[in-house]
Amino acid sequence: MNKREARARRSRKTRVRIAQQRANRLVVGRSNCHIYAQIIAPAGNKVLASASTLESEVRKELKSGGNRAAAAVVGKRIAEKAKAAGIDTVAFDRSGFKYHGRVKALADAAREGGLKF
């Protein structure tokens, strides 16, 4: 990632954070090999639920953690964990990543699992 791309990602991230300060946030993180999702309280001080491709149950059913199928599995798991915690509405914080590919697959699976964005 060059300087221009990094600066653009930081500015997108800042705009999203400013807009979503008063709701539970579904935060997405990704690397080349894995994808992560967390639901964070509005104050930003507590993780209410989390899921990732590093969990042993998820790793058993996936060949690779860095593809759209893995992102869909993580989306379904985060939706299940959110429902168990009594959360049904979240603000989607993509952390500056474009809404495309794995990030979109995770979001779509979470919606199918019952989360409202």
Residue 54 falls inside a structural domain: yes
Residue 58 lies in a domain: yes
pLDDT digits (tens, 9 = 90+) for 56-89: 999 998 989 999 999 999 999 999 999 999 999 9
Give me the number of domains the chain comprises.
1
Question: What range does the domain containing 23 cover?
Answer: 3-112
Question: Is 13 inside any structural domain?
Answer: yes
CA distances from 109 to 18, 36, 64, 113, 116 (A): 25, 14, 17, 6, 11
DSSP 1-28: --HHHHHHHHHHHHHHHHHTTTS-EEEE
To the nearest whole number, what is the mean pLDDT of the chain?
90
Quick check: is 64 in a domain? yes
In a domain, 52, yes or no: yes
User: Tell me: the pLDDT tens digits for 10-28?
Assistant: 887 776 665 666 888 899 9
Residue 42 lies in a domain: yes
Residue 90, domain CATH: 3.30.420.100
Q: Which of the four pLDDT bands, split at 50, 70 and 90, describes residue 43?
A: confident
